Amino acid sequence: MTFKDKLKAIVKKNNSLVCVGLDSQLDKIPAHIRKLKNPIFDFNKAIIDATYNLVCTYKPNAAFYEAEGLHGIEQLKMTCDYLHEKYPTIPIIFDAKRADIGNTNKGYARFAFDYLGADAITLQPYFGIETLKSFLDRTDKSTFILVRTSNPGAGELQDLIVEGKPLYQVVAEHVAQKWNYNGNCFTVVGAPYPHELDIVRHIIGDGFPILIPGIGIQGGNVEITVKAGVDKDGQNAIINSSRGIIFASSGEDFAQRAREEAEKLRTEINKYRTK
């Protein structure tokens, strides 16, 4: 089953566009969990078990696992394996933002897709389609290309005018018109930029997933984001919250509080999905 197929099915089953970002920074994990042998995995497991019927995807961010060296990578693998075994209908987006020459990208693709078993990966577009083919030719997997990122300084390069339009729009056009030849190349647009999100939705059209980080702590407004990001059917906006859900509490109630925040976000999103 492709990423799009899995996404469509789980969105319908859970009535949710919520993506929970597993940005499981070790020093922010509750103290009683940090004492365990595999604290990041045990934290993730509790979050997943508390929210699995409220989400459409999980998105582990590579940085928080790589920062812990071998043990961090092992716990990333354990997390992905747990999702495959316990909740196989929920797709995994590996947030790695990779970009390199083609031969190196083959290694990145093997790690993400074959070792971790991720359904999709985030990528940078700067190297062009020649190097992206290592990912795009995996028809069973998907890619999310950074188009307009959620950070405050995103416009430094992404708003540069190229042939009369901002660079981020050019990248979106490349995704929609050239790179999506296998129907598995999508976009990332940050919630703090709803105007740009609306433009990208019009460029790529309906039936095309957009990964939207930046809700909550990064300043993205739910109503404006949903209205700009969903397609005509109220679908295909993957709205990510990381810290706002997984670190809602630092106490022993952390998993229950994460569930409450995920459910609150799902309810808020669903209020605005009909265009």
The span from the CA of 208 to the CA of 253, in Å, is 37
Helix (H) or strand (E) holding 203: helix 194-204
Q: Tell me if residue 97 is catalytic.
A: yes
The span from the CA of 59 to the CA of 24, in Å, is 11
> Which residues lie closer than 8 Å to 256 by C-beta, 6 or more apart?
50, 249
The span from the CA of 183 to the CA of 8, in Å, is 14
Q: Which of 8, 77, 97, 264 is catalytic?
A: 97
Q: Where are the strands (E) in the chain, listed by range? A: 18-22, 57-60, 93-98, 120-123, 142-148, 161-162, 165-166, 185-189, 210-212, 237-241
Phi, psi of 89 (to 5 degrees): -85, -10
Give the N- to C-terminal CA distance of the chain in Å, as an integer: 29
The span from the CA of 108 to the CA of 115, in Å, is 10
214: left (phi over 0), alpha (psi -120 to 50) or beta: left
122 strand-pairing partners: 144
Q: In what order do the strands lie in the sheet containing 237-241?
A: 57-60, 18-22, 237-241, 210-212, 185-189, 142-148, 120-123, 93-98
Phi, psi of 55 (to 5 degrees): -120, 170
The span from the CA of 99 to the CA of 121, in Å, is 11
Residues designated as active site: 97
